Amino acid sequence: MNKLFTLAGVSRLAAAAAVAVTMSAPVFAQSTTPAEPAPAATEAPAAPAADTAAAPAAEAAAPAAEAAPEATTNPYGLKAIIDHGDLVAKSTLVLMLIMSAGTWYIFVTKLIEQSKLMSQATFAEKNFWTASSVTEGASRLKENSAFRGVVEDGLRATEHHDGALTDHIDLHEWVTMSLQRSVDAVNARLQGGLSFLASVGSTSPFIGLFGTVWGILNALVAIGLSGQASIDKVAGPVGEALIMTAIGLAVAVPAVLAYNWLTRRNKLVMDRLRNFSADLHALLIAGQKAKSGRSA
């Protein structure tokens, strides 16, 4: 009985141990399951690898962005002529700049002078012919007026006609010549500077062409010295040549337009002055005839 009891107890103990092992197996499995996300922690360093791959791309894009403004600069433009041009190129450029400055100066000054004469003509036509005498009409005009100068020259011619030498000239001829000289003096003052505009308009294209020829010559010399017709040897001198041609045309066109326009306006002003002089001539001759008739 003790042996059986002992064997039965051992068997019972073995069965209890097996049941305990079976019940503890799910618990052990559940405790080991959360350890599976550990590989995600090992995959985390992949993000810095992407950053290191993007960094060279950003560094490569930065020099490209910095080089973009330099690509827009023109190394063969007007600044290149000033910085690297020879004496002939710079002298040609300075000459055309002086011609351009003279053109605009003459254009502005002559335009102002013509406007003054236009206003003087309008003022004389309104105020001179309503006076009771030529002397009073002259006093109504401004002292610096060209029309007042013509009137004073006409009065001076009629007053000083009597003399040893002028007696041999008819009064009509003497007054005509005096008024004509006065009108010609105004015309000469208006024509001053127009010859410069004509010279600039006719010569500046050829001066620019000279700069073009000189630039092409420099290009040929550069090709001969380098031994190869590369674009960097030709682009600079040819660019200077084209700029010289453009500057020559830019100087010539305003000069020609200004000359034609000022000449037309001079004609309008002088027509009004000549008409005023002709009417004044008739008035002076009629006044002298009336005086001579009363004295007789």
Instruction: Write out pLDDT tens, residues 17-66.
Output: 554 545 544 444 444 444 444 444 444 444 444 455 445 555 545 554 45
How many domains does one find in the chain? 1
Residue 192 in domain? yes
Domain region containing 186:
96-139+148-290
Residue 48 in domain? no
- Report the candidate in 22, 194, 20 with the shortest Cα–Cα distance to residue 102: 194
Residue 109 in domain? yes
Residue 108 in domain? yes
* Those residues with Cβ within 8 angstroms of residue 30's Cβ, 6 or more apart along the chain or in another chain: none
Residue 78 in domain? no
Residue 52 in domain? no
In terms of Cβ atoms closer than 10 Å to its own Cβ (0-12, 13-18, 19+), residue 246 is middle
Measure the CA–CA gap between 184 and 93, rounded to whole angstroms: 38
Distances (CA, A) of 57 to 45, 54, 68, 76, 159: 20, 5, 17, 33, 99
Q: What is the 3-state composition of the chain as percent helix, strand, coil, each rounded to the nearest 5?
A: 85, 0, 15
Question: 218: which 2 tokens?
Answer: 């420099």
Residue 61 in domain? no
Residue 282 in domain? yes
Instruction: Write out pLDDT tens, residues 151-200.
Output: 998 888 887 666 556 566 777 888 888 899 999 999 999 999 999 999 99
